[in-house]
Every structure is written in C-alpha cells, then in structure tokens.
Structure 1
Amino acid sequence: MSNEAANVAILKDAYRQWHESKGGSVEQLLSICDPGVRWGSVPRGVAPLAFATEYSSRDALHAYFDGLLADWAMVHYTIDEYVAQGDAVVARGSCKWTYKKTGKTAETPKVDFWRFKDGKAVEFYEYFDTACAAAAAT
C-alpha cells in the first residue's frame, strides 16, 4: 500500500469512528496525530467559535475537542471524497451540529486538509461555513 493509500485509510477509519460515535472518538483522533501536530481552523478563535483556533501540540488539542463537544452535539459528519497527493490528504464532505444552548443547527460543507509524516498527522486545517456556525450559536 502506498503512503497516499495508507494515509487515506487512516482517515477513513478515523472519520467513520468520529461519525458513528457522534464525537465520542476523540482519543482515537488524537492517536493519529503526531505529538507536535499543528492544528488550525478558519474561525481562528473568533467568538462564538473560540475553540476553533490554532494549536501546536496533541496535548493542547484537547482544548479544541473539549470546547467543541461542550457546546455542540454532532448530527452527522460525512466525508464523501478523499484526494491524496504525496504526504497531503484533503477530505471533502459535510457536517451538521446542534448548538446545545440555542437548539439551532448548523449544516455546512466541510473541507479538512491533512499532512502526514511516518503515518502520523503533523498538520490539519479545517474549512467550513463559519457564518452558518456562528448564526446557530447566537
């Protein structure tokens, strides 16, 4: 199996577990990350999506998942397409979350960029409709 195929296989399994557990597989997601993973999100920590900011280690990344799961309940997280080239994988799909305090939902296209080294994720950046998510949270 090529590195590209192996990296896609890692992500397919991680996303399957993430979706099926409705966000309960945080430790499994963290396990595919290098200890020095760089993690970022298009909101860059702007309220009301303060958790969606930059992290520079797997240990710090717990704050991302703690913030996400404290306020949001996953409805679905669906990846429809993977594009791999070299050490990079782009996962494209959609997700839907309910903001617990307002009961409003946000359904958005989702693109995740991953970079791997030696079978571990060393970089991640997510893109989604931040206006939709912010509207659900207010």
Structure 2
Amino acid sequence: MTTESDNIALLKDAYAQWVDGRGTDCACWMNVIAEDASLASLAEGSPEMPFTARRNGKAEIMSYLEGLMRDWDMVSHAMDEFIAQGDRVVVIGRVAWRNKATGKVVDTPKVDVWRIRDGKAVDYVEFYDTARSLDAARP
C-alpha cells in the first residue's frame, strides 16, 4: 500500500518528465500506469480529436498518447497543484497545445483525476476546455 505522499511523488515525477520531453516521450506515463488502467477524456473521441476515445489497458492508452503527439505540439504545461486523499490524486494546472494541422493554439485550465493502486495508476480522467480544444482542431 502506498501513501498519499508516495502517490503525489509518483505523479509529480511523471509530469516533470512529460514537460522535459515537451510532450513527445510517453515513457513517463507507461512507467506509472498499471496494465489494466483506464483513461477518459472530455472530448470522448469526437471527430476532431478521435484519439480521445475512452481507453482501457496500456496498449490503448499508448494509442491515445500517440494520437496526441501526432496531432498536437506542447506549448506550455504547468500542472502545479497536487491534492491527494486516499487512493485519489487531483492535479490542477494550465496547459497550451498547438494543433499541427491548423496551427491554432488552445490554452486551457486542466484538471486530472487519478486513482492509484499499489504504486501504479489504474484510472485517469482529464478535464479541460473541450470547446476551445475542438475549435483549435477544426480548419
């Protein structure tokens, strides 16, 4: 069993690696998620952002990340508030991404909700401004 501070440390390290790699290296996430992890995104696989469909298992989550990296470039990523209670960690911040096809930038508040089991992430849900994100993906 891990403690709340262990869970925060796990995620702080992963976010730091993600930012250091400018959103182009998925190893930081693959190292923290469990084989049976799930991922949900507010865009829910919309036509403008199909990679955001619900994902179950490491291979499907990797597919989400590949779609993100294929379609978007990280402009800024500051997830700087970590709140833990029990097996949950909520991460609050602000991110900006540039859509590669349109050149449009979306700058949005972001909240990530994680559930950790035995030192691995088993559930992840991301909240962000979907209207702005979908608009940035539209030509």
Bin the TM-score by the shorter chain: over 0.9
**Counterpart position of 1:117:** 117
**Counterpart position of 2:67:** 67
Question: Matches of 2:55 and 2:36 in 1, distance apart?
Answer: 9
Question: Matches of 2:41 and 2:53 in 1, distance apart?
Answer: 5
- Structure 1's unaligned 5+ residue stretches are none
Paired residue type of 1:63:
S
Shift of 1:30: 1.1
**Counterpart position of 1:13:** 13
Question: Matches of 2:67 and 2:79 in 1, distance apart?
Answer: 22
SS at match of 1:45: coil
Question: Matches of 1:103 and 1:10 in 2, distance apart?
Answer: 33
SS at match of 1:29: helix
Question: Matches of 1:62 and 1:88 in 2, distance apart?
Answer: 22
Alignment: residue pair count: 137
**Counterpart position of 1:35:** 35
Deviations 1:67-90 (A, max 9, x none): 111110001111121110000000
Superposition map of 1:1-138 within 5 A:
3-138=3-138
Shift of 1:27: 1.5
Shift of 1:7: 0.4
TM-score, normalised by the number of residues in structure 2: 0.95
TM-score, normalised by the number of residues in structure 1: 0.96
Question: Matches of 2:124 and 2:11 in 1, distance apart?
Answer: 12
SS at match of 2:74: strand
Question: Matches of 1:53 and 1:38 in 2, distance apart?
Answer: 11
Question: Matches of 2:102 and 2:80 in 1, distance apart?
Answer: 29
SS at match of 1:64: helix
The sequence identity of aligned pairs, in percent, is: 39
Runs of 4+ in 1 over 2 A off after TM superposition: none
SS at match of 1:97: strand
Question: Matches of 1:16 and 1:78 in 2, distance apart?
Answer: 9
Shift of 1:31: 1.1
Question: Matches of 1:17 and 1:33 in 2, distance apart?
Answer: 15
Paired residue type of 2:102:
T
